[in-house]
Structure 1
Amino acid sequence: MAFVSAYYPATFSYFFSTLANFIAAPFNGLLAEKVEEMLTGNKINDEGLMSVVKDVPRIMAREWRKLLYTLPKAIGLFLLLLIPALGQTIGPFAWFIFTAWMLAIQYCDYPFDNHKVPFNDMRLSIKQKQGKAYGFGMLVSLFTAIPILNLFIVPVSVCGATAMWVQEFKQQHT
């Protein structure tokens, strides 16, 4: 029972972050759009605020898609933690790797979604550059553990993922 209480704060923060990402998704997409415009000098969307309002249902559906992608893996990792010795040995490392991948998926999705790249295509593109994706996700994960700094990590992560989109993925999807 002690290991369950040890993972309670991490589980709570993960679900709180998921809820916060649902609420912030349209704004994060807009931030990714503006950052990309600054980096490339090209206008992404000329329709203004009304296009963002019109895209909210699609953006929310995309967030649900990410949640459905995450849940089976998270449940599997939780079940791994229930295995005596093995779960407590491998579980934290596996959870950190999983978190890094999911953070890469979460934040890279905003610029991909701005260009209407389907979720599975985005996932496969990121998988082709796993080293960069895991490195990005690990840094985000580590910075979320630092008090005060973790308050700014979401917009910084959106900006970083957008910069990675411009440098690594944009040519492939335009």
Structure 2
Amino acid sequence: MQLIQGMEYFFSGFKLISQKGLKRFVLIPLVINILLFGSSLFFLFGWLSDSFSYINTMLPEWLSWLEWLMWPIAVLTILFSYGMLFTVITNFIAAPFNGLLSEKVELHLTGQKVNDDGLADLLKDVPRMLGREWTKLCYYLPRAIGFFILLWILPVIGQVLWVLFSCWMYAVQYEDYTFDNHKISFREMKNDLQQKQTLSYGFGLAVLILTAIPIINLIVMPVAVCGGTRLWVENYRSKYRE
């Protein structure tokens, strides 16, 4: 079943990040994610705590129990919604390092270099990589706003569609690095993923679940890059070698 297979590709990233020769390329994306994701969540939860305390002072004593109801709702909303938005933003900073990690993982899996570019060529490629992240952001934001509005109009249907959309975006985000390394356009990448949608949704679902787990979510980014690269190698690479 492709849904399960897609999830297995993500989890294979845990093994790949520990492989000899790849660890040093995992380190920078990992540090970036820990610093940005960890610190932002710390301040966000601090802000929520202060906000709920203020709200509680405005409520009559007999409604003070509402604070205990608001916390789990707020936490779940943050873990599933904020995680996706933060991922898109964080990858602007980590894009060159994630692209390099994907390139090294492909070399590890296939024994063949993606290209023979040196450090200078990699630095010249940074604007193109950031441009690709901007394309993803432009693709994500209008759809995210639409689904967010739908959450308030049709809560149950909206929640289901939001989860499906998040799964799709995680797949787009992390499977795209290898496509981009091979200079495959964003449009063509989307068309390829749509040909095996269930596989991509399974991959994205695994990312979504792990992103919602504290501590573990700090290492999701490099794991997903590695897993997404393996998915590309085993499902799309042959198409571009014909």
Q: TM-score normalised to the size of structure 2? A: 0.66
The reply on whether 1:143 has 2:210 as its aligned counterpart is yes
Secondary structure at the residue paired with 1:107?
helix
Higher mean displacement: 162-171 or 10-19: 10-19
Encode CA deviations 1:57-104: one digit per residue, 9 max, x unaligned. Answer: 100110010111111211110110221xxx211111111100000000
Q: State the one-letter code of the partner of 2:128.
A: R
Within-5 A mapping of 1:95-110: 95-110=162-177
Match of 1:38 in 2: 108
Match of 2:155 in 1: 88
Identity among equivalent positions (%) equals: 51
Q: State the one-letter code of the partner of 1:14.
A: M
Encode CA deviations 1:148-174: one digit per residue, 9 max, x unaligned. Answer: 111111000000000000000011123
| Contact 1:28 1:155 (8 Å CA) reproduced | yes
From 175, 192, 199, give the equivalent of 1:125.
Answer: 192
How far apart are 1:44 and its partner, in Å? Answer: 1.3
Encode CA deviations 1:118-153: one digit per residue, 9 max, x unaligned. Answer: 000000000001111000000011011112111111
Match of 1:26 in 2: 96
| Contact 2:171 2:203 (8 Å CA) reproduced | yes
Secondary structure at the residue paired with 1:153?
helix
Secondary structure at the residue paired with 1:44?
coil
Q: State the one-letter code of the partner of 2:135.
A: R
How far apart are 1:8 and its partner, in Å? Answer: 5.6
Where does structure 1 lack aligned partners over 5 or more consecutive residues? none
Aligned-residue CA RMSD (Å): 1.5
Q: State the one-letter code of the partner of 2:134.
A: W
| Contact 1:117 1:173 (8 Å CA) reproduced | no
Q: Specify which structure has the bigger relative contact order, considering alpha-carbon pairs within 8 angstroms and separated by 6 or more residues.
A: 2
Match of 1:134 in 2: 201
How many residues end up aligned between the 2 structures? 168
Secondary structure at the residue paired with 1:152?
helix
Encode CA deviations 1:30-77: one digit per residue, 9 max, x unaligned. Answer: 000000000000011212222210111100110010111111211110
Q: TM-score normalised to the size of structure 1? A: 0.91
The reply on whether 1:152 has 2:222 as its aligned counterpart is no
